[in-house]
Amino acid sequence: MTNFVDSNSFEVHDDYYTPKSTWELIVPYIEYVNYHLSEYPKIWEMCLLNSNEQSKEYLQELLPNEIIGDKNCNCLLPNDYEDECDMIITNPPFDTEIKKHILQKLVQLDKPFIIILNSINIFSKYYHEIFADLDIKYIIPSKKLHFDKYDGEEYIESKKKTSFYSIFVTYKITNKNIHL
């Protein structure tokens, strides 16, 4: 199994993380799920890594749900969060080998999820093989999502604009594809 760690380039501050503005785009869909359940589902942010749990903090600010997860958890190994959560929201690492394992884990868990992926991923062979039996839906932003840089101490808005388009891949969240 691939080791679940941030890229080696993290020391040179070449890693990017999901800003609050990106998570804000999915709030209406989580509110929809909340509305249709008798209680708020517990959400696992499964890919925190070196993000110092900033993503988890953003989700806690935006949603009434309990957000669980921590940066020391290897989501690829059995852990308490996978049993405890009702839903998963995350932005997996960019590394393809790690991403494949995370996608396989999502299928294994069979829980509702929203994940952020580079849109090119949905055309890959591995993506189609892993999600072949799932009713996957997409939330497609009208513009590119941009990511924050972490300099080892704080998050800074990246001056470099993202060169690729990202989408939200969903399972058991919505019954149709959505264009934002």
Query: Is 2 within a domain?
Result: no
Query: Is 4 within a domain?
Result: no
Query: Is 1 within a domain?
Result: no
Query: Is 140 within a domain?
Result: yes
Averaged pLDDT for residues 52-62: 88
Number of structural domains the chain divides into: 1
* Per-residue pLDDT tens over the stretch 101-153: 999 999 999 999 999 999 999 999 999 999 999 999 999 999 888 887 766 66
Average confidence score pLDDT of the chain: 85
**Per the structure block, which two tokens stand in for 87?**
């839903």
Band the pLDDT of 23: cuts 50, 70, 90.
Answer: very high
Of the candidates 131, 180, 172, the residue with the CA atom closest to the CA atom of residue 41 = 172
Q: Which helix (H) or strand (E) holds 130?
A: helix 125-130
Which CATH number goes with the domain that contains 48? 3.40.50
Band the pLDDT of 6: cuts 50, 70, 90.
Answer: low
Of the candidates 69, 77, 65, 73, the residue with the CA atom closest to the CA atom of residue 53 = 69
**pLDDT score, position 105:** 96
* Domain hosting residue 45, numbered range: 9-179
pLDDT exceeds cutoff 50 at 44: yes
Averaged pLDDT for residues 52-77: 90
- CB atoms closer than 10 angstroms to residue 167: 20
Of the candidates 173, 111, 102, 106, the residue with the CA atom closest to the CA atom of residue 137 = 173
Query: Is 3 within a domain?
Result: no
